[in-house]
Amino acid sequence: MKKASIAPSLLAADFGNLQRDVEMVNASEAEYHHIDVMDGVFVPNISYGMPVVKAIHKHARKPLDVHLMIVNPDRYLEEFSNLGAHILTVHYEACTHLHRTIQAIKALGMKAGVALNPHTNVLLLEDIIQEIDLVLIMSVNPGFGGQSFIENTYDKIKATKALITRKKSSALIEVDGGVTTSNSKKLVEVGADILVAGSFVFKSTDPIKTIKELKG
Ligand SMILES: O=C(CO)[C@H](O)[C@H](O)COP(=O)(O)O
Ligand SMILES: [Co+2]
């Protein structure tokens, strides 16, 4: 079976020891640093903004996978490009002109991702799937780490995979929220390419070993 790429979410890091936690990810088998930006409007929580992303970028040795949970993301695309974002993911629900936003992200040299809330049907991406590099399936309601995984996610990944195949898209499938070793294997079996894990990695006694276990 193929191995998943792992993107530890720094939302669950110790912000008093951010450099240490970024360096742990550098030293691990993870492929990305997952960065959750929340504005307190699109989601009922504020995480961190540009100065913290800049600090992460300074120490990160792996690509930055930036997940924007903000309204009007178009205002900040250039700034996130300058801050070193490799993948920039916007929420379907936050973009009125999603096609334009995707083109703008790619014109800035970044990979373009689209995130779907648990209630958003993946078939809404039918007319844009060939343009995007990544579909981020939220397996919890966005806004907080440490929530329980929503079981419907398996069917949603299967539907996403079917859409990608049918439309001959090269988009990757990322799953975000409540990912642990009790669901990671099945997530990859049904089609996930990248697993995001926050609490399960950073609250574990040996995060490097936990990342290895998540890879399977
Ligand atoms: O986007 C997110 C929350 O909106 C986080 O990436 C996600 O919740 C990861 O945290 P955990 O693994 O603890 O669920
Ligand atoms: Co996220």
Could you tell me if the CB of 176 is within 6 A of ligand 1? Answer: yes
109 annotated ligand-binding residue: no
Counting the structural domains of the chain, the total is 1
CB–CB of 62/32 below 8 Å? Answer: yes
Could you tell me if the CB of 179 is within 6 A of ligand 1? Answer: yes
> Mean pLDDT, the chain, as a whole number?
98
Domain that holds residue 164: 5-215
Residues 6+ apart with CB under 8 A from 79: 50
Could you tell me if the CB of 44 is within 6 A of ligand 1? Answer: no
Q: What is the CATH number of the domain that holds 76?
A: 3.20.20.70
Has the ipTM of the complex gone over 0.85?
A: yes
Give the closest residue (by CA) to ligand 1 atom 7: 177
Render pLDDT for 167-200 as a digit per residue (tens, 0 to 9).
999 999 999 999 999 999 999 999 999 999 999 9
Render pLDDT for 90-115 as a digit per residue (tens, 0 to 9).
999 999 999 999 999 999 999 999 99
